[in-house]
Every structure is written in C-alpha cells, then in structure tokens.
C-alpha cells in the first residue's frame, strides 16, 4: 500500500481467472437470478456463447482492486462503471487503474479503471475513494 498518492500514479494490475463458479456465485451472491448468469443452455438460447458475469460482480471486483491498493481504511464513495465485452468462463479479467485526481483537503482520489479480457474491454469507468493517512 503506497503512502503517497498523485495524479498519473498507476495501481498494481489485478488478474482474476473467470470461472463458471465465479460467474454463477457472483450472480447468486447479488441475488441476480437471470438464467444467463448460471444456466449455459439459457445463455446460449439468448445468443451468447456461455454464461457471463453480471455487473454487480464486476463492480465488486473493481472495488476490490481499488481497496487492495488503498488499504483497509479506504472507503469507496462513487463507482461509475460501463460494461462492454462479456466476461465468459475460461477467460482472464485484468483490471488496471490510474489516479486521475487527488484532493488533499478531503484525502480522496479519483481512479480511472479499465477491465479487459480476451475479447476486449469488459468494463471502464472511475472510482472515487476516500483515503486514510495519504498525502501528495
């Protein structure tokens, strides 16, 4: 966990293997009962190659990415993510981020995040995080 925060700083990359268990478990944990997240036949009937990750699981993983860097005292105060290419089992979800703003007065940072997989960009957006004990 770095002790300083400044615009342009990059966060350590996070890679997550996308498994059927992760996809279905994330959907169940977020009470998303849509069949495309846990039933392969239903997902294929809907026109996709397999089950795919829901946005709440993606948001949770991106939140984890930021708090792994920011530390246990950090608080996510804004998360704005746009989905793109689906995360299918068998792929790898890679998240990267860069500090785009740091407000010394509130000790908060705006992190621009991108999550990619073998198809392309799965998620992009930003996360604002209130930091504890950080300085420029």
- Say how far residue 82 (Cα) sits from the centre of its chain: 10
Q: 2 pLDDT band (50/70/90 cuts)? A: low
Convert the pLDDT of each residue in 7-58 to its tens digit.
999 999 999 999 999 999 999 999 999 999 999 999 999 999 999 999 999 9
Instruction: Locate the domains of the chain by residue range.
Output: 14-18+53-130
What is the bridge-based pairing of β-strands 92-103 and 75-83? unpaired
Is the domain covering 14-18+53-130 a CATH 3.10.129.10 domain?
Answer: yes
CB-hemisphere CA count at 13 Å for 118? 8
Q: Which residues are registered as beta bridge partners of 50? A: none
Residue 125's SS3 state is strand
Mean of all residue pLDDT scores within the chain: 94
Convert the pLDDT of each residue in 63-101 to its tens digit.
999 999 999 899 999 999 999 999 999 999 999 999 999
Residues 6+ positions from 79 with CB-CB distance below 8 Å: 59, 62, 63, 125, 126, 127, 128
- What's the pTM value of the predicted model, to 2 decimals? 0.92
Report angle CA 96, 97, 102 to the nearest 5 degrees: 170
């Amino acid at each position: 966990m770095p002790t300083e925060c400044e615009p342009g700083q990059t966060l350590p990359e996070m890679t997550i293997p996308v498994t059927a268990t992760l996809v279905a478990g994330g959907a169940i944990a977020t009470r998303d009962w849509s069949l495309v997240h846990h039933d392969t036949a239903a997902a294929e009937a809907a026109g996709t190659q397999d089950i795919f990750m829901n946005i709440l699981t993606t948001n949770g993983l991106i939140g984890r990415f930021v708090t792994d860097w920011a530390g246990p005292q950090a608080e996510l105060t804004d998360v704005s993510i746009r989905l793109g290419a689906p995360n299918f089992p068998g792929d790898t979800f890679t998240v990267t981020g860069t500090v785009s703003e740091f407000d010394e007065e509130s000790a908060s940072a705006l992190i621009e995040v991108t999550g990619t997989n073998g198809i392309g960009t799965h998620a992009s957006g930003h996360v604002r995080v209130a930091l504890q004990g950080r300085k420029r």
